[in-house]
Amino acid sequence: MGRIVFSLAIVGGAAGLASFALYEGLGVITSDTSADMGLVSVGAAAGAVMLGFALRRRAGLARDGMFVGLATLGAWFLLLVYALAQDTP
C-alpha cells in the first residue's frame, strides 16, 4: 500500500510539472488542458497526503509519499502566492 501512495504522490508532482512544461514551455496544449492537469496534480497530491497520513505507521513508503505530496501542495501554494503578487496595470 505504501508503494501506491508513493506512486500517487509522484504522479501528482509529474502532472503539475507536465502541465507547466507543455503549456508555458512548449505551447502544445490549451490553457484548459493545463488547468485540468493542474487540478489532477493537486488532487493526487492531496490524496497521497491523506492516505499517507492514515498509513504512516504501517507502510514505510506511505510516509515518504505523504511528504512528497506535501511538497507538491507546497509548490502549488507558492505558485499561487507568486501569481497573486504579480502587479498588473
Each residue of 15-50: pLDDT tens digit?
Answer: 888 988 888 888 888 888 888 988 999 888 888 888
Residue that has been written with the C-alpha cell 507502510 in this structure: 59
pTM beyond 0.85, yes or no: no
Q: Which residues span the domain enclosing 72? A: 2-85
What's the rounded Cα separation, in Å, for the pair 4 and 51?
Answer: 9
Residue that has been written with the C-alpha cell 496544449 in this structure: 29
Total domains in the fold of the chain: 1
Helices (runs of H) and strands (runs of E) counted in the chain: 3, 0
Radius of gyration of the chain (CA): 14
Backbone angles phi, psi at 82, to 5 degrees: -65, -45
